[in-house]
Amino acid sequence: MGQLYVSIESFGHTGESMEAPQQALSKNVQSSAHRALAALEIICASAKPVTLVELADQLGAPKATAYRSAETLVSSGFIKAAGEGKPGYEATWRVVELSTTILGRSELRNIAQPLLRGLAEGHGESVTLAVPDGAEVLFVDRITGNRHVEFYCDVGRRLPLHVGAASRAILAHFPSALFDQYVGGTLPSFTPSTLTTAKKLRADRDLTRARGFAISQEDVEVGISAVAAPIVNKQGDILGAAAIANLSARWSEGDIEERGAEIARTCQEIGERCEQLTQQLGPLT
């Protein structure tokens, strides 16, 4: 009987050959998951059902790939085929259920809501609450005192840090290094009144910190003005900002100053109740 010789190197090559397919499989699973989440975001952000062609185009993927992502979300209960004979996909209430649960866990929102509700009802105006999230702010609450006026800043909406009163109230309290990093980047314009230069934003930061609140006059939407104040804890960390808004035509300069002082006092009280809360800033991506 002949002897069998097995090279140690052959085991090494066998191990590598087994690892390669596993790594490829892992990457494919991650890619599929990322694509499905991107599809969910596209569908949730649309005001109308998203067709398969539109989904594939926005994903930058073939129709077959987009279809697999959509069917994964359908089977998971996050989206459904649009009804009433409309083509495409739309989000289900399961998305709302999950987001409501997340909002309910927001300590800042729970602490601020009673105080902000009193402000909204007292003036018959809309009050919003925003938190920093990277290079944007995310609106996590809105209390409507005037149901006849609709604004952009609803729950779940985002704005860049330089656009709007709440955004700039937060940006004004960023550490200097993060502030400089942000204003040194691309600053898109929403309206002709949007501040889009580092020089103007630095001046606005200094003014906001000096008077205690930021003013937005039609830099998010033409015809809408707002004032916002930062919410900071006792350590000076910025947690978020609250804003009160109305039609520009309904506010005089005196109204703006009055609302600004009032929102600043309210946010100071909220901050005092948030002694234990912290907020991690960045990265600005």
Task: Give the integer Cα–Cα distance in Å for 72 and 78.
Answer: 9
CA atoms within 13 A on the CB side of 58: 20
What six digits make up the tokens of 89?
């996909």
Q: Are residues 68 and 181 in the same domain?
A: no
Predicted confidence (pLDDT) per residue in 69-97, tens digit: 999 999 999 999 987 778 899 999 888 77
User: Is beta strand 224-232 parallel, antiparallel or unpaired with respect to 238-247?
Assistant: antiparallel
Averaged pLDDT, 45-60: 92
pLDDT tens across 1-15, in order? 444 433 434 434 444
Kindly report the CATH number assigned to the domain that includes residue 78: 1.10.10.10
pLDDT tens per residue, range 170-185: 999 999 999 999 999 9
Burial class (CB within 10 angstroms; exposed 0-12, middle 13-18, buried 19+) of 80: middle
Tell me: do 24 and 158 sit in the same domain.
no
What pTM, to 2 d.p., does this model score? 0.71
**CATH value at residue 144:** 3.30.450.40
Q: Burial of 182 by CB count in 10 Å (0-12 exposed, 13-18 middle, 19+ buried)?
A: buried
Tell me the three state secondary structure of residue 51: coil
| Beta carbons of 241 and 172 less than 8 angstroms apart | no
What pLDDT score does 2 carry?
Answer: 44
Q: What is the mean pLDDT of the chain?
A: 85
Number of structural domains (the chain) is 2
Position 142 in a domain: yes
Q: What gap in Å lies between CA 123 and CA 129, rounded to an integer?
A: 16
State whether 238 and 114 are in the same domain: yes
**Residue 181 burial by CB count (10 A; 0-12/13-18/19+): exposed, middle or buried?**
middle
pLDDT for position 9:
40
240: which strand partners? Answer: 231
Which tokens is 38 given? 């991107």
Residue 282 lies in a domain: no
- Among 94, 128, 148, the domain boundary falls at 94
Is residue 82 within 8 Å of 92, Cβ to Cβ? no
Q: Are 56 and 168 members of one domain? A: no
Quote the domain boundaries for residue 43: 15-94
Quick check: helix, strand or coil at residue 139? Answer: strand
Tell me how far the alpha carbon of residue 217 is from its chain's centroid: 22
Interior/surface letters 52-67, b for 16+ CB within 10 angstroms, e for the rest: eebbbebbebeeebbe
d(CA 137, CA 162): 10
- Rounded average pLDDT over 120-145: 91
Of 66, 94, 122, the position where a domain reaches its end is 94
